[in-house]
Copies of this chain bind each other. A is one copy, B any other.
Amino acid sequence: VTPAAPVGLSLRDTVRAADAGSAEALLHATGFFREEEVAIGRELIDETVARGAATGYSFLFADRADGSLAGYACYGPVPLTESSWDLYWIAVDPAEQGRGIGRWLLEECERRIAAAGGDQVWVDTSGRDQYAPTRGFYQSAGYTVAARLADFYAPGDAKVMFVRRLVPDGRIPREG
């Protein structure tokens, strides 16, 4: 079952050239992505527009009725694994946060990952205080901390790895 869309939004999984600029602006606006991350976010879209599915990155865009972007998610299978997937990020326009757009995008990513045979969704985030809301978002959505890598991003900035187990086509956690 596809989760219900927040009012006024529609979901799109095709990538358009104009998404690169919109995504860049959105990533900037959230204040949660560093310049390098914003640049990579943009590049992944440019590359997907140029090369298509061969890049291994999939996108979900939450479009407003006027065609502007309220949020988007980027995900894909982890290379060299049988059924692990990475959720690279979810970004939501700060003006629209609190409406369930992030959760809607997350659940739709999970549904598509499960349908594609994925049984684990991995999310990396930072252990810094600023990212407490991000960690809370994933925890409340059923994700658990699989690892905490001290000083990974920088001294004092740990990588916190979340995972959620899915059952292909069922999306029911296999274990705690």
Q: Which residues of chain A have a CB within 8 Å of any CB of chain B?
A: 34, 36-37, 40, 78-84, 119-120, 122, 146-155, 157, 161, 163
Contact = CB atoms under 8 A, between A and B. Distances in A.
Contacts of A79: 36, 40
Contact of A81 (B119, B122, B147, B154): B154
A104 to B, nearest CB: 26
B146 A80 contact: no
Given A37-B80, A82-B157, A119-B151, 10 more contacts: A34-B80, A40-B79, A80-B153, A81-B152, A82-B155, A83-B155, A146-B147, A146-B150, A149-B161, A149-B163
18 contacts: A34-B80, A36-B80, A78-B152, A80-B153, A82-B154, A82-B155, A82-B157, A83-B155, A84-B151, A84-B152, A84-B153, A120-B151, A146-B147, A146-B149, A146-B150, A147-B149, A147-B161, A149-B163
Nearest to A124: B80
Among the interface residues A40, A154, A157, which one has the most CB atoms of the partner chain B within 10 A? A154
In the complex, the count of this chain's copies comes to: 2
Instruction: State the main secondary structure of chain A at its contact with B.
Output: strand
B153 A81 contact: yes
Contacts of A81: 152-154
Contact of A40 (B80, B82, B120, B155): B80
A153 B83 CA distance: 7
Contacts of A120: 151-152
